[in-house]
Amino acid sequence: MMKKISLILFGFFLAAFGGLSIGRAEVVKINGAGATFPYPIYSKWFSEYNKLKPDVQINYQAIGSGGGIQQVKAKTVDFGASDAPLTGDEEKAMPGPVVQIPTVAGAVAVTYNLEGVDKGLKLTPAALADIFMGKIKTWNDSKITSANPGLKLPAAPIAVVTRSDGSGTTFIFTDYLAKINGDFYWKVGRGKSVNWPSGIGAKGNEGVTGQVKQTPGSIGYVEFAYAVKNKLSYAAIQNKAGKFIEPSPTSTTAALTALNKELQKDVRVSVTDAPGEGSYPISGLTYLILYKAQEDATKGRTLTEFLKWAMSDGQKFAETLFYSPLPAELVRLNESKIASIAMK
Protein backbone atom coordinates (compact mmCIF):
# COMPACT_ATOMS: atom_id res chain seq x y z
CA MET A 1 0.00 0.00 0.00
CA MET A 2 2.78 2.40 0.99
CA LYS A 3 4.61 1.54 -2.24
CA LYS A 4 1.50 2.42 -4.28
CA ILE A 5 1.09 5.76 -2.45
CA SER A 6 4.76 6.51 -3.03
CA LEU A 7 4.37 5.91 -6.76
CA ILE A 8 1.31 8.19 -6.90
CA LEU A 9 3.17 10.94 -5.04
CA PHE A 10 6.12 10.53 -7.37
CA GLY A 11 3.76 11.01 -10.33
CA PHE A 12 2.43 14.23 -8.82
CA PHE A 13 6.02 15.38 -8.26
CA LEU A 14 6.87 14.77 -11.92
CA ALA A 15 3.80 16.70 -13.07
CA ALA A 16 4.50 19.64 -10.75
CA PHE A 17 8.13 20.00 -11.78
CA GLY A 18 7.83 19.30 -15.51
CA GLY A 19 8.87 15.68 -15.28
CA LEU A 20 5.97 14.65 -17.49
CA SER A 21 7.87 16.20 -20.40
CA ILE A 22 10.02 13.07 -20.30
CA GLY A 23 9.30 11.22 -23.52
CA ARG A 24 8.11 14.40 -25.21
CA ALA A 25 10.51 15.70 -27.86
CA GLU A 26 12.31 18.93 -27.07
CA VAL A 27 11.32 21.81 -29.36
CA VAL A 28 13.95 22.58 -32.00
CA LYS A 29 13.96 26.25 -33.03
CA ILE A 30 15.37 27.14 -36.45
CA ASN A 31 15.96 30.78 -37.39
CA GLY A 32 16.20 32.15 -40.91
CA ALA A 33 16.14 35.54 -42.61
CA GLY A 34 16.17 37.04 -46.06
CA ALA A 35 14.06 37.52 -49.15
CA THR A 36 10.54 38.96 -49.00
CA PHE A 37 9.83 37.49 -52.48
CA PRO A 38 9.09 33.95 -51.13
CA TYR A 39 7.68 35.05 -47.75
CA PRO A 40 4.05 34.00 -48.49
CA ILE A 41 5.00 30.43 -49.37
CA TYR A 42 7.68 30.13 -46.70
CA SER A 43 5.15 31.19 -44.07
CA LYS A 44 2.80 28.49 -45.33
CA TRP A 45 5.54 25.88 -45.38
CA PHE A 46 6.73 26.61 -41.86
CA SER A 47 3.17 26.55 -40.54
CA GLU A 48 2.26 23.29 -42.28
CA TYR A 49 5.51 21.62 -41.24
CA ASN A 50 4.90 22.61 -37.63
CA LYS A 51 1.53 20.81 -37.83
CA LEU A 52 3.36 17.67 -38.92
CA LYS A 53 6.25 18.19 -36.52
CA PRO A 54 5.04 20.17 -33.49
CA ASP A 55 8.53 19.92 -32.00
CA VAL A 56 9.97 22.00 -34.89
CA GLN A 57 9.55 25.78 -34.99
CA ILE A 58 11.00 27.65 -37.95
CA ASN A 59 11.11 31.41 -37.50
CA TYR A 60 11.70 33.61 -40.53
CA GLN A 61 12.40 37.34 -40.83
CA ALA A 62 11.61 38.80 -44.25
CA ILE A 63 14.30 41.49 -44.34
CA GLY A 64 15.35 41.30 -47.99
CA SER A 65 17.86 39.14 -49.82
CA GLY A 66 20.80 41.39 -49.00
CA GLY A 67 20.08 41.14 -45.29
CA GLY A 68 19.63 37.39 -45.50
CA ILE A 69 23.04 36.93 -47.11
CA GLN A 70 24.67 39.16 -44.49
CA GLN A 71 23.08 37.27 -41.61
CA VAL A 72 23.99 33.81 -42.87
CA LYS A 73 27.54 35.07 -43.41
CA ALA A 74 27.62 36.34 -39.82
CA LYS A 75 26.11 33.03 -38.64
CA THR A 76 23.35 34.84 -36.76
CA VAL A 77 20.75 32.64 -38.48
CA ASP A 78 20.57 28.96 -39.38
CA PHE A 79 19.77 29.69 -43.02
CA GLY A 80 19.53 32.67 -45.32
CA ALA A 81 17.16 33.27 -48.22
CA SER A 82 17.85 35.15 -51.42
CA ASP A 83 16.32 35.51 -54.86
CA ALA A 84 19.80 36.37 -56.12
CA PRO A 85 22.17 33.39 -55.97
CA LEU A 86 25.52 34.09 -54.38
CA THR A 87 28.17 35.34 -56.76
CA GLY A 88 31.53 33.58 -56.81
CA ASP A 89 33.06 36.34 -54.66
CA GLU A 90 30.18 36.23 -52.17
CA GLU A 91 30.52 32.48 -51.87
CA LYS A 92 34.28 32.73 -51.28
CA ALA A 93 33.67 35.35 -48.58
CA MET A 94 31.52 32.96 -46.55
CA PRO A 95 33.26 31.45 -43.50
CA GLY A 96 32.61 27.96 -44.84
CA PRO A 97 31.28 26.11 -47.90
CA VAL A 98 27.56 26.66 -48.50
CA VAL A 99 24.82 25.00 -50.51
CA GLN A 100 22.32 27.05 -52.48
CA ILE A 101 18.99 25.31 -52.91
CA PRO A 102 16.33 26.75 -55.23
CA THR A 103 12.97 26.24 -53.54
CA VAL A 104 10.29 27.56 -55.92
CA ALA A 105 10.02 29.93 -58.86
CA GLY A 106 8.01 33.13 -58.98
CA ALA A 107 7.24 36.10 -61.18
CA VAL A 108 8.00 39.77 -60.66
CA ALA A 109 4.82 41.61 -61.54
CA VAL A 110 4.89 45.18 -62.87
CA THR A 111 2.12 46.74 -60.81
CA TYR A 112 0.44 50.09 -61.40
CA ASN A 113 -2.22 52.42 -60.03
CA LEU A 114 -4.01 54.16 -62.87
CA GLU A 115 -7.58 55.38 -62.65
CA GLY A 116 -9.79 53.84 -65.31
CA VAL A 117 -7.22 51.22 -66.28
CA ASP A 118 -7.70 48.33 -63.89
CA LYS A 119 -6.42 45.74 -66.33
CA GLY A 120 -5.25 45.25 -69.88
CA LEU A 121 -2.11 47.39 -69.81
CA LYS A 122 0.63 46.09 -72.12
CA LEU A 123 4.26 47.13 -71.89
CA THR A 124 7.07 46.44 -74.33
CA PRO A 125 10.58 45.83 -72.96
CA ALA A 126 11.72 49.18 -74.41
CA ALA A 127 8.88 51.09 -72.73
CA LEU A 128 9.43 49.35 -69.39
CA ALA A 129 13.16 50.13 -69.36
CA ASP A 130 12.55 53.77 -70.31
CA ILE A 131 9.94 54.19 -67.57
CA PHE A 132 12.34 52.97 -64.88
CA MET A 133 15.17 55.04 -66.32
CA GLY A 134 13.00 58.15 -66.09
CA LYS A 135 12.93 58.70 -69.85
CA ILE A 136 9.18 58.14 -70.16
CA LYS A 137 7.50 60.55 -67.79
CA THR A 138 3.77 60.43 -68.64
CA TRP A 139 1.26 57.65 -69.18
CA ASN A 140 0.24 58.89 -72.62
CA ASP A 141 3.75 58.63 -74.04
CA SER A 142 3.67 57.15 -77.55
CA LYS A 143 5.89 54.23 -76.50
CA ILE A 144 3.11 53.14 -74.14
CA THR A 145 0.03 54.08 -76.18
CA SER A 146 1.30 52.33 -79.33
CA ALA A 147 1.05 48.97 -77.53
CA ASN A 148 -2.34 49.87 -76.01
CA PRO A 149 -4.63 51.16 -78.78
CA GLY A 150 -7.76 50.16 -76.88
CA LEU A 151 -6.91 51.95 -73.63
CA LYS A 152 -7.47 55.60 -72.73
CA LEU A 153 -4.20 56.50 -71.08
CA PRO A 154 -4.11 59.91 -69.33
CA ALA A 155 -1.49 62.62 -69.65
CA ALA A 156 -0.70 62.03 -65.98
CA PRO A 157 2.85 61.87 -64.64
CA ILE A 158 4.30 58.44 -63.88
CA ALA A 159 5.43 57.94 -60.28
CA VAL A 160 8.08 55.20 -60.25
CA VAL A 161 8.33 53.09 -57.07
CA THR A 162 11.46 51.01 -56.44
CA ARG A 163 13.01 49.01 -53.61
CA SER A 164 15.19 50.93 -51.18
CA ASP A 165 16.74 47.84 -49.54
CA GLY A 166 19.01 45.10 -50.86
CA SER A 167 16.51 43.00 -52.73
CA GLY A 168 16.39 39.78 -54.71
CA THR A 169 13.24 41.06 -56.39
CA THR A 170 15.30 44.01 -57.60
CA PHE A 171 17.98 41.58 -58.77
CA ILE A 172 15.49 39.65 -60.92
CA PHE A 173 13.89 42.84 -62.26
CA THR A 174 17.18 44.57 -63.12
CA ASP A 175 18.63 41.35 -64.50
CA TYR A 176 15.77 41.35 -67.01
CA LEU A 177 16.02 45.05 -67.89
CA ALA A 178 19.81 44.85 -68.25
CA LYS A 179 19.42 41.92 -70.65
CA ILE A 180 16.94 43.63 -72.95
CA ASN A 181 18.29 47.19 -72.85
CA GLY A 182 21.97 48.07 -73.24
CA ASP A 183 21.40 51.63 -72.03
CA PHE A 184 19.84 50.32 -68.82
CA TYR A 185 22.74 47.90 -68.36
CA TRP A 186 25.37 50.64 -68.56
CA LYS A 187 23.53 53.38 -66.69
CA VAL A 188 21.69 51.45 -63.98
CA GLY A 189 23.10 47.92 -64.05
CA ARG A 190 21.86 44.76 -62.38
CA GLY A 191 22.01 43.76 -58.76
CA LYS A 192 20.24 43.50 -55.41
CA SER A 193 20.69 47.25 -55.01
CA VAL A 194 21.13 49.78 -57.83
CA ASN A 195 21.11 53.56 -58.16
CA TRP A 196 17.74 54.25 -59.70
CA PRO A 197 17.70 57.47 -61.76
CA SER A 198 14.44 58.55 -60.14
CA GLY A 199 11.49 57.34 -58.13
CA ILE A 200 10.15 56.67 -54.65
CA GLY A 201 12.01 54.10 -52.57
CA ALA A 202 10.17 51.58 -50.38
CA LYS A 203 11.36 48.71 -48.19
CA GLY A 204 10.38 45.15 -49.00
CA ASN A 205 7.73 43.83 -51.35
CA GLU A 206 5.21 45.00 -48.76
CA GLY A 207 6.57 48.54 -48.90
CA VAL A 208 6.39 48.77 -52.68
CA THR A 209 2.90 47.25 -52.63
CA GLY A 210 1.69 49.84 -50.13
CA GLN A 211 3.32 52.73 -51.96
CA VAL A 212 1.77 51.76 -55.31
CA LYS A 213 -1.67 51.34 -53.69
CA GLN A 214 -1.62 54.83 -52.19
CA THR A 215 0.02 56.73 -55.07
CA PRO A 216 -2.16 57.54 -58.11
CA GLY A 217 -0.26 57.23 -61.39
CA SER A 218 2.39 54.98 -59.85
CA ILE A 219 4.19 51.94 -61.20
CA GLY A 220 6.37 49.46 -59.30
CA TYR A 221 7.57 45.88 -59.22
CA VAL A 222 6.65 43.19 -56.67
CA GLU A 223 6.51 39.43 -56.41
CA PHE A 224 3.30 38.28 -58.10
CA ALA A 225 1.72 36.89 -54.91
CA TYR A 226 1.80 40.37 -53.35
CA ALA A 227 0.05 41.88 -56.37
CA VAL A 228 -2.74 39.28 -56.25
CA LYS A 229 -3.19 39.37 -52.48
CA ASN A 230 -3.41 43.18 -52.47
CA LYS A 231 -5.59 43.36 -55.59
CA LEU A 232 -3.09 45.47 -57.50
CA SER A 233 -3.32 45.88 -61.27
CA TYR A 234 -0.42 44.39 -63.20
CA ALA A 235 0.78 44.65 -66.78
CA ALA A 236 1.33 42.08 -69.50
CA ILE A 237 4.96 42.22 -70.63
CA GLN A 238 6.07 41.45 -74.17
CA ASN A 239 8.33 38.40 -74.10
CA LYS A 240 11.18 37.25 -76.30
CA ALA A 241 8.73 35.63 -78.75
CA GLY A 242 6.84 38.92 -79.11
CA LYS A 243 3.81 37.81 -77.07
CA PHE A 244 2.32 39.93 -74.29
CA ILE A 245 2.21 37.64 -71.26
CA GLU A 246 0.83 38.23 -67.78
CA PRO A 247 2.55 36.80 -64.69
CA SER A 248 1.10 33.51 -63.46
CA PRO A 249 2.31 30.13 -62.17
CA THR A 250 1.73 28.73 -65.67
CA SER A 251 3.78 31.38 -67.49
CA THR A 252 6.55 31.11 -64.88
CA THR A 253 6.64 27.34 -65.29
CA ALA A 254 6.92 27.87 -69.06
CA ALA A 255 10.04 29.98 -68.48
CA LEU A 256 11.56 27.28 -66.25
CA THR A 257 10.75 24.56 -68.75
CA ALA A 258 12.35 26.52 -71.59
CA LEU A 259 15.62 26.72 -69.64
CA ASN A 260 15.50 23.28 -68.02
CA LYS A 261 18.70 22.00 -69.67
CA GLU A 262 20.68 25.06 -68.55
CA LEU A 263 19.37 24.68 -64.99
CA GLN A 264 20.58 21.08 -64.91
CA LYS A 265 24.12 22.38 -65.37
CA ASP A 266 23.87 25.26 -62.90
CA VAL A 267 20.89 26.11 -60.67
CA ARG A 268 22.09 29.72 -60.57
CA VAL A 269 21.20 30.26 -64.24
CA SER A 270 19.04 33.33 -64.79
CA VAL A 271 15.56 32.51 -66.08
CA THR A 272 14.60 36.05 -67.09
CA ASP A 273 13.86 36.74 -70.77
CA ALA A 274 13.34 33.03 -71.40
CA PRO A 275 12.42 31.81 -74.89
CA GLY A 276 9.00 30.39 -75.67
CA GLU A 277 5.66 31.90 -76.59
CA GLY A 278 4.13 31.27 -73.17
CA SER A 279 7.09 32.33 -71.02
CA TYR A 280 6.68 35.28 -68.67
CA PRO A 281 9.90 37.25 -69.13
CA ILE A 282 10.47 38.46 -65.55
CA SER A 283 10.58 35.08 -63.79
CA GLY A 284 13.10 33.93 -61.22
CA LEU A 285 14.07 31.27 -58.73
CA THR A 286 14.45 31.87 -55.00
CA TYR A 287 17.09 30.11 -52.91
CA LEU A 288 17.82 28.92 -49.39
CA ILE A 289 21.47 29.23 -48.35
CA LEU A 290 22.96 27.16 -45.55
CA TYR A 291 26.32 25.78 -44.54
CA LYS A 292 27.37 22.43 -45.91
CA ALA A 293 28.86 21.46 -42.53
CA GLN A 294 26.28 22.04 -39.81
CA GLU A 295 27.79 22.96 -36.42
CA ASP A 296 24.63 22.04 -34.49
CA ALA A 297 23.82 18.45 -35.42
CA THR A 298 20.25 18.60 -34.11
CA LYS A 299 19.42 21.74 -36.07
CA GLY A 300 21.26 20.41 -39.10
CA ARG A 301 19.28 17.18 -39.18
CA THR A 302 16.05 19.12 -38.61
CA LEU A 303 16.82 21.47 -41.49
CA THR A 304 17.64 18.66 -43.90
CA GLU A 305 14.41 16.83 -42.99
CA PHE A 306 12.43 20.00 -43.59
CA LEU A 307 14.14 20.56 -46.96
CA LYS A 308 13.29 17.01 -48.04
CA TRP A 309 9.65 17.75 -47.18
CA ALA A 310 9.79 21.10 -49.04
CA MET A 311 11.03 19.31 -52.17
CA SER A 312 8.14 16.84 -52.04
CA ASP A 313 4.92 17.70 -50.22
CA GLY A 314 5.85 21.36 -49.90
CA GLN A 315 5.84 21.87 -53.67
CA LYS A 316 2.10 21.13 -53.71
CA PHE A 317 1.39 24.50 -52.07
CA ALA A 318 3.22 26.52 -54.75
CA GLU A 319 0.50 27.19 -57.31
CA THR A 320 -2.22 27.99 -54.79
CA LEU A 321 0.07 30.76 -53.49
CA PHE A 322 0.91 31.97 -57.04
CA TYR A 323 4.38 30.41 -57.27
CA SER A 324 5.60 27.69 -59.62
CA PRO A 325 6.78 24.29 -58.34
CA LEU A 326 10.19 23.09 -59.40
CA PRO A 327 10.61 20.69 -62.34
CA ALA A 328 11.26 17.08 -61.28
CA GLU A 329 14.86 17.24 -62.58
CA LEU A 330 15.61 20.27 -60.40
CA VAL A 331 14.06 18.57 -57.37
CA ARG A 332 16.39 15.60 -57.89
CA LEU A 333 19.40 17.93 -58.06
CA ASN A 334 18.29 19.55 -54.81
CA GLU A 335 17.86 16.19 -53.13
CA SER A 336 21.48 15.30 -53.90
CA LYS A 337 22.60 18.66 -52.46
CA ILE A 338 20.54 18.08 -49.32
CA ALA A 339 22.13 14.63 -48.93
CA SER A 340 25.58 16.27 -49.06
CA ILE A 341 24.93 18.38 -45.95
CA ALA A 342 26.98 16.96 -43.09
CA MET A 343 26.93 17.34 -39.31
CA LYS A 344 30.10 18.34 -37.50
Superfamily of domain 107-283: Periplasmic binding protein-like II (3.40.190.10)
Does 107-283 match 27-105+284-343 at the fold level?
yes
Residue 62: the pLDDT is 95
Identify residue 121 by its one-letter amino acid code: L
Residue 77 has pLDDT above 50, yes or no: yes
* Domain ranges (residues) in the chain: 27-105+284-343, 107-283
Strands 79-82 and 283-291, sheet pairing: antiparallel
> Which residue would you say has higher pLDDT here, 68 or 20?
68
Centre a 10 Å sphere on the Cβ of residue 209 and count the other Cβ atoms it contains. Answer: 22
Position 140 pLDDT exceeds 60: yes
**Dihedral over Cα of 110, 116, 122, 128: its sign:** negative
- According to the model, what pLDDT value does residue 344 have? 77
Sheet holding 122-123, edge to edge: 122-123, 236-238, 244-245
Predicted local confidence at residue 25, as pLDDT: 61
Q: By three-state DSSP, how is residue 284 classified?
A: strand
Superfamily designation of domain 27-105+284-343: Periplasmic binding protein-like II (3.40.190.10)
The alpha carbon of 166 is separated from its chain's Cα centroid by a whole number of angstroms, namely 13
- Mean pLDDT (whole number) for 179-189: 96
For residue 128, which of 204, 188, 65 has the smallest C-alpha distance? 188
DSSP-based three-state secondary structure for 159: strand
Residue type, 133: M
Task: Please check the confidence at residue 14 and state whether its pLDDT lies above 70.
Answer: no
pLDDT, tens only, 80-94: 999 999 988 999 999
Nearest to 188 by CA among 110, 69, 200, 179: 179
Q: 222 with 169: CB under 8 angstroms? A: yes
Q: Average pLDDT for residues 131-141, to the nearest whole number?
A: 97
Q: Distance between CA 311 and CA 330 in Å, rounded?
A: 9
The pLDDT of residue 5 is above 90: no
Give the percent of the chain with pLDDT over 90: 90
Name the pLDDT band for 24 (thresholds 50, 70, 90).
low
